[in-house]
Amino acid sequence: MLLLFDIDGTLLLRASEPHRLALLGALRAVYGIADPESQGISAAGKTDTQIAREIALSHGIAVADFDAHLPALVSACVEIFERDCPARLEAHVAPGIAELLDALAMVETVRLSLLTGNYERIARTKLGRAGIGHHFPVGQGAFGSDAEQRDLLGPIARARAGGRDAPYPRQHTTIIGDTPLDIACARADGLRAIAIATGPYQADALSHADAVVQDAYALRALLEG
C-alpha cells in the first residue's frame, strides 16, 4: 500500500506562515507586485505555482511574463523560506502524526510518500525541521515543483514508487489530505482518498472522500483496521 500524504493541514498544523510569506516575498521581488495579498486569492489545496499564477494574473502580469520568470520565482521562494523558516517545527506536527508514521514505518507492506503542492525543497525543509522528514524518502512523492496542477501529481508519485516497467498500482494507492482538492487529485488518477478534518475544512465539506476522519488517531485506527 502506497500512502501519499499532504503536508499543510495534514501532517503539520499552523506551520504555513513562513511559506506564505516566502511566496509573497518572491512575487514582490520577481514581478514587482507591491501588495500580493490584496486580491484575496485562496491557497488551500493549490500548488505553489498555481497560487503564484493566480496572484500575478490578478495584478495584471501577462501570462508570458509570468512563465518567463517562473524559475526565478521558484528560486526566490525557496531562498526566502529556507532563510526565514524557524529551525524547529516539532510543535507544529499534528497530534498523533508522529506516532502514526512511526507505526506505519514498521509495516513492511506500507510505503510512505508525499503528495503536496509545496515546492519540493520547501516540503523537505518543513518536514526535516519538524522531525518527521526521515519517513519520506528522497526520490519519491510528487510536489508543486513537478506540476502546476495538483491533478497531475498522482501519476508522478506512482511512477516514482513503481518498478522499472510500471507505476505503482492505482488500487493500492491512497491519497491522504485535508481539502477538497486533495480528494479531486485522487479522483483524477482513480485513487482512494482519505480526508482528514484537521485543516480549514469541516468533515461535511470532505464527505465525497472514500473515508473521512477527524484526526490522526482516527486515521491510524482506520489504516490499521
Alpha carbons 219 and 38: distance in angstroms, whole number: 37
- Going along 23-177, which residue ranges are E strands? 111-114, 173-177
Split the chain (225 residues) into runs of 10 and give each run's mean pLDDT: 97 95 96 88 91 95 98 98 96 97 96 98 98 97 97 97 92 97 97 96 96 97 91
- Mean confidence (pLDDT) of the chain: 96
Model confidence over 174-208: pLDDT tens digits? Answer: 999 999 999 999 999 999 999 999 999 999 999 99
Q: If you ran DSSP here, which 8-state letter would residue 12 be given?
A: B
Q: Would you state the pLDDT for residue 41?
A: 85
Q: Would you state the pLDDT for residue 225?
A: 82
Q: Which fold has domain 2-14+88-224?
A: Rossmann fold (3.40.50)
Classify 208 as helix, strand or coil.
coil
pTM listed for this prediction: 0.95
Burial 113-129 (b: 16+ CB within 10 A, else e): bbbbbbbbbbbbbbbeb
Residue with cell 475544512: 201
Alpha carbons 176 and 197: distance in angstroms, whole number: 11
Q: Would you state the pLDDT for residue 130?
A: 98
Q: Where are the domains of the chain?
A: 2-14+88-224, 17-84
